[in-house]
Structure 1
């Protein structure tokens, strides 16, 4: 303001200085909140409005309410069934264990009607994730939508226990046009639930004969770059194929509350010769352990590598 409206009057100069000081103090307060876990920008979707999703998640009766300090950025942390006028609805609260099942749901808009217009994001109008409460189960699907706005996600067999199901989308019209949204609900899968401890934080993991190494030292509430390098038998892999318009798709979930983070790829996919190193823009809203699921494709086959990353 002081640069746009210069004036020799001492009164206005003093007022401008006071305003600048106030803004500086406000910014410092935001950083302090982030350091203490009470505010941030949502990892991977980086849009920065803040609110506590706990009440919204609890109000939907989904249980597993979010922990304090999780950001509800434009996309949100995925722990609420309703946000910004959009709501994930489903009559399904339980699924059978040990066999494939169809999960049906709808997204209603601010007007209360089912949304049928969705923008394409990474080749799909809807990304759907299923994650077990102990982070030992993960599925990433692209459900089909009927004309009335009902989506059907064909889930592979689920282990008994509690699962959180996420819908990630961008409205193609209406009040939320162009803004990413992540909503979720929980379901109980029948059978005897046996929990497993989360694997310790490690920079490497193997899947289908491939070794994936992730490097980076992310800090909560700050933007960082992560790199993932793919090798096989000690040799760099350079034949990664495009998957969802990129060479790898990376999502993360926080241990304990299952907050969602989508890490945006920075490597463009051009032909079937991706790798060995891929880069991602990462923003994690809070410290602790995050379970990363990196998906990449070779020879027409999709591979899903999982590892635990500690965020300081």
Structure 2
């Protein structure tokens, strides 16, 4: 998913002015509606401190780093609360339909457009992807909230759902994002920009935009592996419990086991113990998945809402021993 952090500070106190000495009769003869300089200074100080507190509160919400602070619209209904361990499948009511919709299906959505600046690739050779996020006035957006330690998450996968990459571009002052990218095999690839934009009026918009990338050459798509709830990567076994259901939010609980059967010490990666990307076969719809901030009985728990039946590919990023690995699963939603 460019290292930008927004910091907010604002707290202060005000001492009231000492009570003035009682006025004489001569003094009372002159009455003015214009406050003296001391009163004006005090009013300005108080007003400035109140404004600072309000600004600090707003920026603090932006910088909390989790979906609850940085996601707006329908997703905020999901992000603003956590789920108790053991909670089963459920619906969030209002906004559930929008929350279940897949993202990344278009280059334009929610008032923003993903515009590639440079996207020419030769299969197997290092290249670079450069792009901008533009608003409704075609201006390059330069303000983004930091979510999971990054202002931009870029997911790249071939259209047969192989070659998954989770990258974090860097942004230049003009709003151009760039990231080294190698497309290892020929074919059509999908790039997803997952971000939360900050508008001039302070509104936050979390969205995912997608664009196709092409590496010319002979393309032989691979069939998806059969559905399974366990897989191995670099000697580690990753398995999950939970059954996705159309239109419902369900918990998926992942456990990691080392080759000797022990549970390795999981480390935080991008502010969480794991990250899960779910893509739908066919249109490659991108699903937002919300993690619990802490381990649940030693396992990584996510909350997934699938929009409908189909085959899905799950990509779990987890870190142990200072290295990030990705475990991949195929799941069928009946």
The aligned residue for residue 53 of structure 1 is none
- Provide the C-alpha distance between the structure 2 equivalents of 1:304 and 1:187, rounded to a whole number of angstroms: 22
Number of residue pairs the alignment of both structures matches: 243
- Cα displacement string for residues 159-184 of structure 1 (whole angstroms, at most 9, x for unaligned residues): 10000101010012336832211001
Unaligned runs of 5+ residues in structure 1 are 1-44, 50-70
Q: Look at both structures and tell me which one has the larger radius of gyration over its CA atoms.
A: 2
- Provide the C-alpha distance between the structure 2 equivalents of 1:292 and 1:74, rounded to a whole number of angstroms: 16
- Provide the C-alpha distance between the structure 2 equivalents of 1:72 and 1:112, rounded to a whole number of angstroms: 26
The aligned residue for residue 277 of structure 2 is 251
2:155 aligned counterpart, secondary structure: strand
**Corresponding residue to 1:131 among 152, 157, 169:** 157
- Cα displacement string for residues 140-191 of structure 1 (whole angstroms, at most 9, x for unaligned residues): 0000000000000211343100001010100123368322110011011122
How high is the TM-score relative to the length of structure 1? 0.73
CA contact (8 A) 1:296 1:304 kept: yes
- Provide the C-alpha distance between the structure 2 equivalents of 1:166 and 1:191, rounded to a whole number of angstroms: 22
2:197 aligned counterpart, secondary structure: coil
CA contact (8 A) 2:193 2:209 kept: yes
2:166 aligned counterpart, secondary structure: strand
- Cα displacement string for residues 20-72 of structure 1 (whole angstroms, at most 9, x for unaligned residues): xxxxxxxxxxxxxxxxxxxxxxxxx89549xxxxxxxxxxxxxxxxxxxxx76
- Provide the C-alpha distance between the structure 2 equivalents of 1:170 and 1:77, rounded to a whole number of angstroms: 13
The aligned residue for residue 107 of structure 2 is 81
How high is the TM-score relative to the length of structure 2? 0.68
CA contact (8 A) 1:236 1:275 kept: no
Aligned in 2, Cα 1:210/1:84: closer, same or farther, shift over 3 Å? same
- Provide the C-alpha distance between the structure 2 equivalents of 1:280 and 1:74, rounded to a whole number of angstroms: 15
Aligned-residue offset at 1:107: 0.2
Aligned-residue offset at 1:262: 2.6
The aligned residue for residue 200 of structure 1 is 226
Aligned-residue offset at 1:110: 2.1
**Quick check: 187-196 or 79-88, which moved more?**
187-196
The aligned residue for residue 296 of structure 1 is 318
The aligned residue for residue 285 of structure 1 is 307
Aligned-residue offset at 1:73: 4.8
1:114 aligned counterpart, secondary structure: coil
Aligned-residue offset at 1:192: 1.4
Runs of at least 4 residues of structure 1 off by over 2 A? Answer: 45-49, 71-76, 91-94, 172-179, 233-236
Unaligned runs of 5+ residues in structure 2 are 1-70, 76-96
Aligned in 2, Cα 1:176/1:86: closer, same or farther, shift over 3 Å? farther
Q: CA RMSD in A?
A: 2.3
